[in-house]
Structure 1
Amino acid sequence: MHMSFSVAVAGASGYAGGEALRLLLGHPEARIGTLTAHANAGTRLGEHQPHLRSLADRVLEPTGVEALAGHDVVVLALPHGASGKVAAALAERGDDAVVIDLGADHRLVDPAAWEAFYGSPHAGTWPYGMPELLHPGERTAAAQRTQLAGTRRIAVPGCNVTAVTFGLQPGIAAGVIEPVDLVAVLANGYSGAGRSLKTHLLASEALGNAQPYAVGGTHRHIPEIQQNLRSAGAADVTISFTPTLVPMSRGILATATARLVPGTDPAAVRAAWEQTYADEPFITLLPEGQWPTTAATAGANTALVQVAVDAAAGRVVTVTALDNLVKGTAGAAVQSLNLALGLPETLGLPTEGVAP
C-alpha cells in the first residue's frame, strides 16, 4: 500500500524527537516536514542531532500550532504538561493530523492517578500506543491493535512501563502469577532521563556509578504499569518499582518477579509466555537458558524476554531488555502510527540490534 505522509516533529532537538526522526527517515512513506524546538529554536538541527546528516541544515522553528498545522502527522516529543496544551490547541484549530504524544500527558485513564503523580490537571486519555497490550480475557493481543486502527490520537507508553508490562502481562493473563507483591528493579540508560543539564547526569557523576532514583513508590510510571496489568486481567495490582541509572547511553534491563500461583506447573509458566509472544514481530521469548542483554536490542524496535521459576522462593522471574528510545518510545510511536494509517505494522522499523 502506498500512503505517503508528511510529519512534523515538535521537540526535535531532544533525545526522543531525534530518535523519532531517525526512524522516520528510514520509513518508506514518511516525508519530514517542520521541525520545532523551544530553547533551541532558531538553531540548526545538526547542532543537536549531528548523526541525522540529511536533516543537519534544517532550522528549528519555535513550537506552536502555526508551525505544526497542515501536516498529516504531528509527533510531540515534549515534556509532560507541554504536549497536552499543544494537542489541545491543534484540536481547537480543527487540524485533522494524527497526533502522537511521546510524553505522559495522555497515557493514564484515571485522572486522580495523574494528579497524584504529576500534580497537574489531567489532559485526557488517548488510545494507548502499545499494540502488544493484552486486554481482559485475551492471551494474545488483538483488541489493542483494533483500537489503534484508524485512530487520530496516540499516547505512547513510558519506556519503563513497556519493559515491565512485557515481562509480566503473560503471567497475569494466564493466571499463573499473583498480581500483588510484584517487584521490579531496572537498570536504565541515561538517555531515559532526557537531555536537560543536571548535576547527577554529568559524565563525571555517571561513569563508574549506578544511581537509584524515584525510590519508594514515587516513580510516575507506577500507575501506568498498574493500569496495563489490570488491562491484562489483574483485579488489583501492587508493585515495588525501583529504577537505577547505570553507565550506558540507552537501554533498559528490567527484572520483574511475582509470586507463583500455588500448585502451578513450571511448564505452564513458560507456556503462557510462549503463547502470548509466539506471533509478535517485535517481542521474542528467548530459548531457555539464554538471557536478554541491552546491547542486543540497541537501535532496534525489539524486546527480548526470558522467564524462569524460582521454586525455592515460590516466585516467577522475568527479565526484559529493550532500547528505551526505540521500542520504549519512538519505535512504539511508528509501530502504532502504521496501524493508525492502515500500513503494515512492521513498516520502516529495524529489528536487528547493534552489538557489542
Structure 2
Amino acid sequence: MKISIVGATGYTGAELLRILVSHPAAEIQYITSESQPGTAINEIYPHFTRFYDKTLASLGDLDKIAADSDVIFIGLPHGHAMEVGRKATAINQKVKIIDLGADYRFRNPDVYEQWYKVPHTHREAQAVYGLTELNRSQVREATIVGNPGCYTTASILALAPLVKNKLVDLNSIVVDAKSGVSGAGRGLNLGSHFTEVFESVKAYNIAGHRHTPEIEAALAELAGKEIVISFTPHLIPMARGILSTCYARLIDGVSPETVDQAYHAMYNDEYFIRLLGRGGYPVTKNTRGTNFCDLGWHIDKRTGRVIAVAAIDNLVKGAAGQAVQNMNVMFNIDERAGLDNAPLYP
C-alpha cells in the first residue's frame, strides 16, 4: 500500500511513522509539514536515524500526494483535515483517508461545530467512526475514517459492554481519566512545561472537554438512546498513557457474573483487548508503546456500582496504532500487521 502522512512532525505523526516504517505491507510515499518543509525527518526526530530519513514535503503538493497514494493519514489540528480530505478524494476517488484529528469523528457535523467552534466544510463525507472493535464492518467499507481520540478510546471500550447489554443506569455514568503529557501535543504551552507538570496532578476542562460528546455519541449508538455523562480529564507527570476509571450504577438484579459475561462476550475474540477480569487492575506501563487496551472491572456491592478501568498508550491505541489497525481492516490484511509487539518495560 502506498501511504502518505500529512502532518508528520507532531507526536502522533511521528508515532505513526515509527509504526509504518516497519509495517510489512506499507510503502511510505510522502510525509508533510507546513512548518518545516524541505527538512529531513531525522533532523527533527533523531531517533529515526538509520531507519528513516525522507525529506518533508508541503501540502502545496497535495495533487501529487493524493494521486500517488492508496491511503492518506492526516495528523493536523482540528479544522484543517476536512479540507485535505475533501480535496484529496476529489483528486483520487480511490484514495482512503484516515484522520487522526476530530474533523471526521461526528456523525452529526452540528455537534462538531458546537464543540470545536469551526464550520464543518465536508458534511457530505459519510465518514465512519474508527473505533475498530465496535465498528469493524463499517470501517472495512469506508473511504474516510475518523480515528477516535485517546480518552474516548479507553473510556468507550471500558463502558461498551455495560451499555450495550443495558446493565447500568445510563444517567449515572462518570468518567475520571488521566493522561500523559504527550496528549497535549508538541507545541509550546506553559501548562505542559516540565516544572509545571513534574510532581503534580491536575484536573482540567471540567465539564467542557471536547472528548465528552465523542464518548456520548459512541455510547448512544450502543444504547439506542441519547446519553449524557460526567467526564473529568487529568494531566499526570508521565510522557505516555491513559488510565480511564469509569463508574456507573448497576441495574437492580444484575449479578457480577452477568457483568463478567458481558465483557467476555464482547472482547474474548479481540486481540488488542486484554481482559484482566473482575478484580483486575490495568496499568499504563503494561501497554506502553503498544496497541493493547487492558481492561479490568470491579463490583462495589455496598454502593451498587460497577467500576471499569482501562489502560492504553495514548499515542498508539489512542491514536497512531488504532489508525494503522483501521488501515489494515480497510485493506483486508492481517489486523495485527505492524502492531504485534510487546510493551516497553520497565
Equivalent residue number for residue 331 of structure 2: 341
Matches of 1:169 and 1:299 in 2, distance apart?
A: 24
1:71 aligned residue (69, 72, 89): 69
Q: Secondary structure at the match of 2:115?
A: helix
The reply on whether 1:314 has 2:304 as its aligned counterpart is yes
The reply on whether 1:149 has 2:150 as its aligned counterpart is no
Matches of 1:252 and 1:323 in 2, distance apart?
A: 6
In the TM superposition, what whole-angstrom CA distance separates every residue of 1:135-190 from its partner, at most 9, and x where no partner exists? xxxxxxxxx22212242221101111101001101011111112212111111011
* Distance verdict in 2 for CA 1:319–1:351, change over 3 Å: farther
Kept in 2: contact 1:49–1:56 (CA 8 A): no
Matches of 1:91 and 1:336 in 2, distance apart?
A: 18
How far is 1:71 from its partner? 1.2
Paired residues for 1:155-304 under 5 Å: 155-216=146-207, 218-304=208-294
Kept in 1: contact 2:127–2:142 (CA 8 A): no
Equivalent residue number for residue 322 of structure 2: 332
In the TM superposition, what whole-angstrom CA distance separates every residue of 1:12-52 from its partner, at most 9, and x where no partner exists? 11111111111111210101111100112222211322222
Equivalent residue number for residue 129 of structure 2: 128
Matches of 2:273 and 2:73 in 1, distance apart?
A: 24
TM-score, normalization: structure 1? Answer: 0.92
Aligned residue pairs, count: 341
Matches of 1:112 and 1:84 in 2, distance apart?
A: 14
Kept in 1: contact 2:6–2:32 (CA 8 A): yes
Q: Aligned Cα RMSD in Å?
A: 1.4
> Amino acid of the residue matched to residue 275 of structure 1?
A
How far is 1:291 from its partner? 0.7
* Distance verdict in 2 for CA 1:55–1:353, change over 3 Å: closer
Kept in 2: contact 1:270–1:308 (CA 8 A): no
How far is 1:59 from its partner? 1.7
Matches of 1:314 and 1:210 in 2, distance apart?
A: 29
Matches of 2:30 and 2:331 in 1, distance apart?
A: 20
Equivalent residue number for residue 19 of structure 1: 15
How far is 1:237 from its partner? 1.0
Kept in 1: contact 2:63–2:91 (CA 8 A): no
How far is 1:90 from its partner? 1.2
Equivalent residue number for residue 80 of structure 2: 82
Equivalent residue number for residue 139 of structure 1: none
Q: Secondary structure at the match of 2:39?
A: coil
Matches of 1:349 and 1:219 in 2, distance apart?
A: 29
Kept in 2: contact 1:45–1:55 (CA 8 A): no
How far is 1:68 from its partner? 2.1
2:4 aligned residue (2, 8, 16): 8
The reply on whether 1:91 has 2:82 as its aligned counterpart is no
How far is 1:214 from its partner? 1.1
In the TM superposition, what whole-angstrom CA distance separates every residue of 1:188-217 from its partner, at most 9, and x where no partner exists? 01111111101111111111111211112x
> Amino acid of the residue matched to residue 112 of structure 1?
D
Q: Secondary structure at the match of 2:296?
A: strand
Kept in 1: contact 2:280–2:295 (CA 8 A): no
Q: Secondary structure at the match of 2:97?
A: strand
Matches of 2:341 and 2:272 in 1, distance apart?
A: 7
How far is 1:351 from its partner? 4.3
Kept in 2: contact 1:282–1:351 (CA 8 A): no
Matches of 1:76 and 1:67 in 2, distance apart?
A: 16
Q: Secondary structure at the match of 2:223?
A: coil
